[in-house]
Amino acid sequence: MKLNSGLVQDTNWYQSHTFKIGLIVAITLQLSVLVVEYLGSVWPIWTGTPIILKTQPYDPRSLFRGNFVRLSYEISQVESDNASEYKLGSVVYVSVKEELNHWRFQSISKLKPVTGLFIRGRVRANYGNSLSIEYGIEAFFMPKEKALLAQETLREGALMRIFVSGNGKARAQEFVCQGDAC
Amino acid sequence: MRLIQLLKKELAHEAREWVDESIITHEQGQAILAKYGESLDNDANKTSFGYYLLMALGSLFIGLALILIISHNWDEIPSLVKTGVLILLTATTNLIGLRLYLTNRYQAANIWVFFGAISYGASIMLIAQIYHLGEHYPDGIYWWALGVLPLVLLTRSRLLSLLMLALATIWLCVEVGEAFFPSSYPVFLLSALFLALYCRSTPTIFVFSLFALLVWLNLALAWLMGSGIHYEPFGDLLPFSLALGLVFNGLAWALMRTSNPTWREYGLVLHLWLLRVSVVTLLILSFEGIWHEYSSESDMSLVLSIAALITGGVISWSLSARNSRYASMPAVLFSLCFSICFIAQAYFSSGDMIAAVTINFLLLVLGISLIRRGIEQDETQYFYTGVVALLATAFVRYFDLIGDYLGGALLFLIAASIMMLAARYWRLRGQTELGGRTDEA
């Protein structure tokens, strides 16, 4: 390869088969990323089990991602006697069981449970016997006005419909409530 | 390597006028400009570059508008339709770019592929919004940068390369902000460096990539010190960074020696930036309080950091020895002085003062050497940088005395003596050389 090629060199390169095939592959890669992202998003909704989790919306933000309310669930903070054994960033499986009108924390495990309904999450912090876990359902995107309204009207707590697929992947679907923000 | 390399566009402009006024012939003009990688004919691209730049900025603005429009119509458009439109837009813009490449309309093709890259990123972010993806959001920026990377290598477009570097750097910042380590950041930097060195002349990308690599290496060391699960910045990051700075200095001189005009330009730009950074760094380290706050973590890390400084100095010296004494001597001097500072700070009770005084004298030597180099080589840039370094040293020392009033006064007197002795030596040497030349004549 010549050093610091100018337009003449570029012209030869642009006309080569390597460039044409490479460009088609690169475009296909971009589109594949988008398709995989889409399928990964809708797969739990198509195949998963709907459950209701108690949550609290707070602090709408709009940096990089648009306007959304941040959701903190009951299962976002769980107690475990051996919390220090869970490394930050490690994958955990949280089993949930239905109680009255929503689902609650039952147990936590490093291994995927064989039976029962469980959600896959990652450890973000541990303080003493308490673990902070993220499940990928912590953001709910809404227009700014609705996000602020949700934060104000649902401050005392809200219910969120979540779809959980067989491998524990969860996806937030909608607020379950009667307020103006829903 | 002269600073005129950085003014080659202005030189080309002047040369065109000299040819028009028949001061020099067309062939002579071409021969002069060829030395700097320029040509009498390059000016024709000026107008099209302006068009190219405005079109690229226009594409960026359309991309931003796209995000806002779709964000605004959140409730009105069904999710599937929004997703379909986004994917279709990304496919269409890229395919138009591909078609333009195939019909040899390269500038327009670059613009469309750039717009395609913006659409692709907007699509990633908006699909995440549509389906409320709360997963680790820096991943979205990462996949955006990664999707642009093959296009950078294929199209060799500076525009796409800048976009990729900007995205990768934003990803680095947010990833670190979320307490994760951006392990694959160098992939983006090395791709940009490949483009700068072998495909296109882009000094900005070259210098940015090297400094970004320095930042990433610091983060990597802090991550390793935190057992690879969290950041634990430690004192010895500083000597490792200084050692890498010395290696970069050697690299700059080695590049300035090559026959390739673009690489020579890269070397010069890197050298000038290192010079500015080193003056600022030395000024910061010239305070006694900085060394008082600095602490080395352990004997082993201190030994390793001193070894890194000496190794950095040796590499820098071996890379620059063939240029001149202006190139190789600073490598040895900096390596030695920094090693003295860190050893003194670790093992002597008055180590803070020893380190601060050493750095102050290093600043003096640097200032004197730059003034002399500026005059000898007729380069005002070096001359004024030297003057600024000496004046800044005097200014900060006047307000921040080392060793109280008498200590400060002593420091000023010693500094004045050094400068006067240097001036005297310089003058005597000049007279000797002049005498020698007269005798020869």
CB contact under 8 A, B104 and A11: yes
CB contact under 8 A, B154 and A27: no
CA-nearest residue to A34 within chain B is: B124
Backbone angles phi, psi at A77, to 5 degrees: -120, 115
Interface check B163 vs A, CB under 8 A: no
Q: Which residues of A touch B71 (CB under 8 A)?
A: 66-67, 143
Check residue B143 and give its pLDDT.
Answer: 95
Residue A155 or residue B121, greater confidence:
B121
Given a cut of 50, the residues of chain B with pLDDT beneath it are 439-441
Check residue B334 and give its pLDDT.
Answer: 93
Distance from the Cα of A73 to chain B's closest Cα (Å) equals 13
Distance from the Cα of B170 to chain A's closest Cα (Å) equals 10
Inter-chain CB pairs, A–B, below 8 Å: 144
Instruction: Report pTM.
Output: 0.80
Written as six digits, the tokens of B294 are 């600095």
Check residue B411 and give its pLDDT.
Answer: 80
Q: Which residues of A touch B146 (CB under 8 A)?
A: 33
Parallel, antiparallel, or unpaired: how do β-strands A49-61 and A68-73 relate? antiparallel
Contact between residue A106 and residue A95 where contact means Cβ atoms under 8 Å apart:
yes
* CB neighbour class for B60 (10 Å; exposed up to 12, middle 13-18, buried from 19): middle
Interface check A11 vs B, CB under 8 A: yes
Interface check B91 vs A, CB under 8 A: yes
For residue B438, how many other CB atoms are within 10 A of its CB? 8
CA-nearest residue to B114 within chain A is: A27
CB contact under 8 A, A66 and B71: yes
Taking the CA atoms of residue B52, residue B54, residue B55 and residue B61 in that order, the dihedral angle to the nearest 10 degrees is 150
A 34-53 residues with CB < 8 A to B:
34-35, 37-38, 41-42, 45
Best residue in B119, B154, B159 to probe A by mutation, most A CBs within 10 Å? B154
A 128-147 residues with CB < 8 A to B:
134-143
What pLDDT, in 10s, does the model give residues A2-59?
444 444 456 788 888 899 999 999 999 999 999 999 999 999 999 989 988 888 777 6
Check residue A1 and give its pLDDT.
Answer: 41
Residues 6+ apart with CB under 8 A from A169: A40, A43, A44, A48, A120, A136
How much is the CA Rg of chain B, to the nearest whole Å? Answer: 27
Contact between residue A73 and residue A174 where contact means Cβ atoms under 8 Å apart:
no
Interface check B135 vs A, CB under 8 A: yes
CA-nearest residue to B110 within chain A is: A14
Distance from the Cα of A131 to chain B's closest Cα (Å) equals 16
What pLDDT, in 10s, does the model give residues A122-132?
988 888 788 89
Mean pLDDT of all residues in A148-158:
76
What pLDDT, in 10s, does the model give residues B203-244?
889 999 999 999 999 999 899 888 887 888 777 788 999 999
A 56-115 residues with CB < 8 A to B:
64-68, 71, 87-89
Check residue A141 and give its pLDDT.
Answer: 84
